[in-house]
Structure 1
Amino acid sequence: MNRTDPSGTGAQNLHLAILIVITAIAFIANIAGIYFGVSLLTPLFFYIPIIIAAYWFPRRGVIFAVVVGIIQVLLIYSASYPDLPQLTYAVSTASFYILVAVAVVISSLSGDLKEKEARYREIFDRSETGIFLAQNEAGGLLIEEANPRGSEILGSLPEDLAGRPLAEFWKDESGRISFLQALVKSGFVPPFESSIVSSGGGRIPVLISASRLPANKLVITLTDISERKRAEEEIQKINLHLSTINHIISQGSESSSVQELVEKCLEYTRNFLEAEYGGAKIPVSNPSAPPRLFHSGDLDILREIEESGSEESSSWRRAIDEGESFVFSAAAIGESAHSGIVIPVPRSDGRTGVIFFACRSPRTYSTEEKKILESIAKETGTAVSKLQLSEDLVDANRKANLYLDIMMHDINNANLASLWYGDLLTEMVEGESKDLASRVIDGIHKSSEVIRSLETIRRIEEKEGELVEIDLDKVIRQEIAHLPDADIRFTESGVRVCADDLLGVVFSNLIGNSVRYGGRGVSVNIHVERSGDDEVTVSVEDTGPGIPDSVKEVIFTRFRQNGTSGGGKGLGLYIVKTLIDRYGGRIIVEDRNTERPHEGVAFRFSLRTYC
């Protein structure tokens, strides 16, 4: 415990109380000695409280001794004046009080200093930070003392460092200049990064800080941050690895073709490796077809490697042909290539491609670089597989459309010829034969209708154009014009709706179904009414036999018509609903007269009036 600062107010008060009691006893004894004629001995009692006060309260002990001495002299003076020997003895005794107090205080403070020195020496010697005491001379910073950790950082014994300039180890001149400027300006240098060269020649990253001391001295601290730097480098490597993978993944999602993807990946990886040439050999979907070759950078390097007859050249070509790993780091192949690497590109179908790079300068490939290249190859292989599947799907769709076009063209030609012969046949025969010929013609018309429906569906699937505002009255009039003999009633509304050039198919199917299946004398009524600020409702009603409720629920399903299913039937209403959905509307089917369901059907659908 530090005697100058007793632990706790209670202990301090106790010491003060004891001192007061002892001092009071000494004063009483001294006064008694004066009156009983033994004043030569009783002043000695004051040494006890003086020593205790100087020990417990070093900063006030001397003052206490002075006060006690003055009081002692005054007491002797008042009792013995004009006895000169008595006064001389009293003054001498008071002086000794002060000397004793000073001696006790010095002893107490010396003990405290030794304790603190031992404590600070323990910190100095055992600190994990290098600590240096230095002298700031005109010639630079001279080391006076270093703790064991500081000596370890500099690679020398503590006794060998004394008197050596710090610049011998601290080669960072700009760092030293900034250090001295900050020291002169504020007397303190906050920690900053630099590097120290040890006696063994190794460069050690450190944090340096300093504080100015009296007599042109300073204390310098060096903290070895090698482990932190290594951790930061590992984090940077991991971040680089992840960013590389993310880049390849993003290229895979952004690229529209295998060629675009591979060329971007080669360019990115070539820049990453600082390689003058990069290439790739990627198998195509057809196993019997040769793989595709891609190049980026200086092709002269590749030609020199291919034309060289060295062992490294043979290993290089074999690795590319067989999809194996290969590295040459410091061997010249041809006149330009001095290092290169081949990395397999695994694919989901089990076949393997490769990516390969070559540099004009010799270089090695670190373990981390190889891991990154393997990740690039893996992600490239995955992305290539997906793009090839996509390209194969597009190609298959293109072929399917080609075959469908050919088939529809040939069927339409055959139908036209059959209709011509059918019409000719109906003019040549009578009775039951004529009826059979009419049925044949109806079948051909249905076949042509199926072909038209298929063509419409394909147009819907392929159409990617934006919707535009269209004159609804004009579309309806055009479709009515195709049925001049039908009883169709329509009042123009002057409305424009959001649709495309397939809107007429909606009315063609709905009006055509009413005329075709409504029976003799059927009447069709079309009317348009606004159902909101940005929407209209269109109704197509007829006076035919109506549609059963059970059929209404499935009537918009493909190949459904009048409650029966069969190939080539019922595509029309499926197309109608598909188009209405495309335009952002809704369509329902209900009885024209809810109380008399057999008196016609009504199709009602909504259309937006703006796009």
Structure 2
Amino acid sequence: MFKGALDNIPDRVKVFLLSLTIMFCMISTVYANFYIGIDKVYTHIFYVPIILAGIWYRRKAIYVALGLGLFYIVACTVHDSIIDPDTILRFLIFLVVAGVVGSLSRARERFHSKELQAERAFRRVAKDLQLVLESTDEGIYTTDIEGRCTLINVAGARMLGYGTEEIPGRKMHQLIHHTRANGTPCPAEECCVSRSRITGVGCRISDDIFWRKDGTAFPVEYSSYPIISDEAVIGSVVAFRDITKRKQADEVRSRLAAIVESTDDAIIGTTLDGIVTTWNAGAERIYGYTAKEIIGRHISLTAPPDVKDEIAGILGRIRSGGRFEHYETVRRKKDGALINVSLTISPIVNNAGDITGASAIARDITENKRVERELQEAKAQAEMYNDLLSHDINNINQIGTGYLELALSAPNLDRGVRELLDRSLEALQNSSRLIHNVRKMQEMKATAGKLAPVDICPLLDEIRAEYSGARNGEVRIDLACGNHTRAMANDLLKEVFSNIVGNAIKHSAGPVHVGIASEEISLNNKTYCKVSVEDNGPGIPDDLKPKLFSRFQRGNTKASGRGLGLYLVKNLVEGYGGRVSVEDRVAGDPSKGSRFVIMLPASA
């Protein structure tokens, strides 16, 4: 400690003290021997500056010893008038003491320097180790031989819900590993960390749980290895990781794998060169090849010879990032049978964004294609029969109508006979009208979606001209048409107005007044062409209004018919994107006539 205190003296003070002791030695010698008259020169105090010089200046102390030794020789010579051998011996002793003290001081300095270097290196290693511990996202803690925590990093404390100062000194097994996932206690002797301290052998657990401060558990994987010093285990070091996200990803992968294996569709993975890498149970059922038979072989094995070239085209498109959706083609099974399939093919992209392969979902649509062909054939036959029947029956109706009209024109017909002939004529006309409606429904389906702007006013004027003056002048039709009333429709729009006006006339007795009006209105930020057709006929009862546009629904009138007319009207208007409704001409009084309102999307 005294030596350390001497080392800490500032350099200026060292020079001052050393000079002071040298001067004190020289002055005291002169004073004692020459003034007081002591006959012997004492050298004991000469060792003080020599030792101080050795401590402070190492081997340079030899110069102080040399100076003091020469001074001693001169003093002895002057005092005794001779050079005594003892004087020379003491001079040499001064030099030896200076050399020994300087060498010892230098050796001590080197040793102290190495100590400082070792301490600095240790601190640097400790700092680097601390940086490593604090930089990793894994939890790391160490324990003593009894399992008490001696150190834990920030990541570990954070995962466990503690501060880094709360855990050291506590037994880790009782703190974070006391209970299994099923709720049963976990004995310390069965714990991997405890076993590694007892046996001195490391261990690794890939799926376990640790408990947080708040009492919740989280899945972890961890490893524990013994800390060994002088061939004895003195503790353990544990590294652990929260695997919640990995467990979630594993569950998602498991569900996806189950879906892939349980689906009836074929799910196939290939390289960009077409080599099969995955082949699910659905693919085995559809193509007949087992996964073992086809994985590692080219996917063209499933294509018939005449479509093998399309495989190269598909893979080329996949390489450029393209995809196929519901691509229908033909494939060949293991037994050689050809099947129709619908393919959805997409590129497989890795985490770096590179396309590494192709994923294909294939659905066997052979049965669908067969049913589709049968339906098309049945539809074609039905249309042929319908055309033949419609044409022939309509011709028969026309002939019968002609004969009945000739019979009715005969004079002096009995009233009962005339009534029978009128009913027969009406029945034939209704039959012709039914055939007409069926044809219009076929046309409606054929022209679905083919809409164009239609001028409403000229069309309504045609209807007015066609029905005005009917029934020997009993029918009067008024038309009020607004400006720029154009709707998105097609040629069948005339059937809508003709049907409604014809019904108003047919279901009324005596003079009939029909009013038609059109205007353009805005409703819910959309523009519509509104057409109203009202009459002064018998009206429509309230209980019948909701059912009026249903198929084969007729009004409660004496007029006969099959009720397809308004059903046709509703389908046509809704096909145009509009709607049709019926209401009383005079609100609350159905007996005063009805009003039909047709809303059609207006054209730009």
**What is the TM-score of this pair, normalised by structure 1?**
0.48
**What is the TM-score of this pair, normalised by structure 2?**
0.48
